[in-house]
């Protein structure tokens, strides 16, 4: 493995940490409705756990209401039950073959709890990025020890990995600040 491969590998893993953080932040609901909050809910579709968006059309009806229209009539009650029993605290109602999912406005206390949750997610992402940096630096030190690269190359590569880490940590901070602002906006 070359020095460049170690840096490239670290960059890819840090990028995946950012993507994971974005997915986790999308699950945290704000006062407004968005279809992403239902993405992780699964329903029993002919004995197979399946995500809601694979058995129904999920759309926004208005700023506070999500519409779920199952492709099969018999899935209406199954989907409604799955949404009701999820950890989101939503109360869906069925109107014909469309399930309306109103998102209740958040209280100030609940918003503060969500901000703490978001900051925790951000801290977890930063820890993941730092662990990737540590692994990359250990790989570089091993290459130096095995005489696969020079001390100068190893030092330069460690500096590059540190710059990568700084860049990704700054991006995590930016994502957290945006989500916090979104949560606290009434």
- Residue pair 99/76 in contact by the 8 Å Cβ criterion: yes
Average pLDDT along the chain, 186 residues, taken 10 residues at a time: 84 90 77 73 85 86 85 87 80 86 80 85 91 92 87 89 92 91 78
Number of domains, the chain: 2
Last residue of a domain, one of 102, 126, 141: 102
Distances (CA, A) of 31 to 91, 107, 181: 15, 9, 12
Q: For residue range 82-107, what is the model confidence (pLDDT) as tens digits?
A: 888 877 777 888 888 888 888 877 77
Which of 46, 78, 102 is the last residue in one of the domains?
Answer: 102
What is the extent of the structural domain holding 63?
35-102
Shared-domain flag, residues 41 and 18: no
Q: How far is residue 98's CA from residue 57's CA, in Å, rounded to a whole number? A: 10
* pLDDT tens-digit readout, 34-61: 777 777 788 888 888 888 888 888 888 8
Cα(157)–Cα(4) distance, rounded to whole angstroms? 8
SS3 assignment, position 31? coil
What integer best gives the mean pLDDT of the chain?
85
Q: What is the CATH number of the domain that holds 92?
A: 3.30.1360.40
- 120 and 166 housed in the same domain: yes
DSSP class per residue in 127-160? HHHHHHHHHHHHHHHHHHHTTSS-HHHHHHHHHH
Query: Residue 151: CB partners within 8 Å, gap ≥ 6?
Result: 144
Domain identity same for 68 and 91 = yes
Sequence-distant (≥ 6) Cβ neighbours of residue 184 within 8 angstroms:
111, 115
- Are residue 84 and residue 141 in the same domain, yes or no? no
At which of 102, 129, 160 does a domain end? 102
Judge if 68 and 129 occupy the same domain. Answer: no
Residues 56 and 49: their CA atoms lie apart, in Å, by 14
């Amino acid at each position: 493995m070359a020095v460049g491969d170690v840096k490239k590998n670290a960059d890819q893993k840090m990028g995946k940490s950012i993507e994971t953080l974005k997915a986790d932040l999308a699950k945290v609901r704000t006062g407004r409705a968005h279809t992403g909050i239902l993405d992780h809910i699964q329903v029993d579709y002919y004995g197979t756990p399946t995500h809601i968006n694979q058995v129904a059309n999920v759309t926004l009806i208005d700023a506070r209401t999500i519409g779920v229209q199952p492709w099969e009539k018999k899935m209406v009650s199954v989907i409604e039950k799955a949404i009701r029993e999820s950890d989101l605290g939503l109360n869906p109602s069925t109107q014909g073959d469309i399930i309306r999912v109103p998102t209740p406005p958040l209280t100030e206390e609940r918003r503060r709890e969500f901000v703490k949750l978001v900051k925790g997610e951000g801290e977890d992402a930063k820890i993941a990025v730092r662990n990737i940096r540590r692994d990359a630096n250990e790989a570089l030190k091993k290459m130096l020890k095995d005489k696969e690269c020079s001390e100068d190359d190893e030092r330069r590569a460690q500096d590059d990995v540190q710059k990568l880490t700084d860049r990704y940590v700054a991006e995590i901070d930016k994502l957290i600040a945006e989500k916090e602002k979104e949560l606290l906006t009434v």
